[in-house]
Structure 1
Amino acid sequence: MTVHATPGRHLLADFRGVAADLLTDVQALEEQMTAAARAAGARVLSAHFHRFGEGAGVTGVIMLSESHISIHSWPEHRFAALDIFMCGAAQPELALDFLQSALAPESVHVTTVARG
């Protein structure tokens, strides 16, 4: 078990240069984010996703025992904002790596905040 000095780590990630079709597929995003949570060692409680219309962006959240993962996408800008907050033994960096592989952004900017 990994022990951290703070109760949780909150990763805020900006993915730029993502293929627009990847940012509109609500079912694929939910599956990828659920798999990312599991890859990080988190327990999924529920998920809620919404697509804003044909060709439009998606907003979604995976609720975890350890906190949450959320995404907001703007396919017209090839941009996604991700929020990955996990506490305990879960490793949010593994979720980020999983999603980076799945969405293949051209660039990534991550801010990490120690919570608690």
Structure 2
Amino acid sequence: MANSLGRHVLAEIYGCSFDILNDREKVEALMVNAALEAGAEVREVVFHKFSPQGVSGVVVISESHLAIHTWPEIGYAAVDVFTCGDSVNPWDACNYLTDHFEAGHMTATEMKRGIVEDPKEAVNI
């Protein structure tokens, strides 16, 4: 039976609030809170506000990362949440963001990362 080192959720979040997606401080706070909501341990945070609009950022967690780029003008956020180990659920972070971005809907895909055939080869994180 194959095991994976991590789970990577790629989320497409639509119908979001312009005012939230265009505010670096709000997006940063919501991304950090999404990581905490999922049970992650936050290590580093870097966010940038673009002109005339948009925010990009990364929350580095002990278990990997959360990343985002926003297009406020169309109410869209591209989010990826990569978690290693079993203690953090990336879907919790995605659902938190969807709710707090006041989104209309989210579509998402999960990939298993670092597939290993022998569980003894997997690094316990």
Same fold (TM over 0.5): yes
Distance 2:82 2:94 in 1: 11
Distance 1:108 1:98 in 2: 11
Identity %: 41
Aligned 1:82-93 pairs, distance under 5 A: 82-88=79-85, 89-93=87-91
Distance 1:77 1:27 in 2: 19
What RMSD in Å do the two structures reach over aligned CA positions? 1.0
Aligned match for 1:41, one of 39, 61, 66: 39
How far did 1:90 drift?
1.1
Distance 1:98 1:16 in 2: 14
Moved over 6 A (4+): none
Equivalent pairs, count: 111
Q: Which amino acid in structure 2 is aligned with residue 115 of structure 1? A: R
Q: Which amino acid in structure 2 is aligned with residue 9 of structure 1? A: R
Aligned 1:22-101 pairs, distance under 5 A: 22-54=20-52, 56-88=53-85, 89-101=87-99
Distance 2:41 2:90 in 1: 12
Asked if the contact 2:6/2:82 (under 8 Å) is kept, the reply is yes
Helix, strand or coil: the match of 1:105? coil
Unmatched runs of 5 consecutive residues or more in structure 2: 115-125
Normalised TM-score (structure 1): 0.91
Normalised TM-score (structure 2): 0.85
Corresponding residue of 1:107: 105
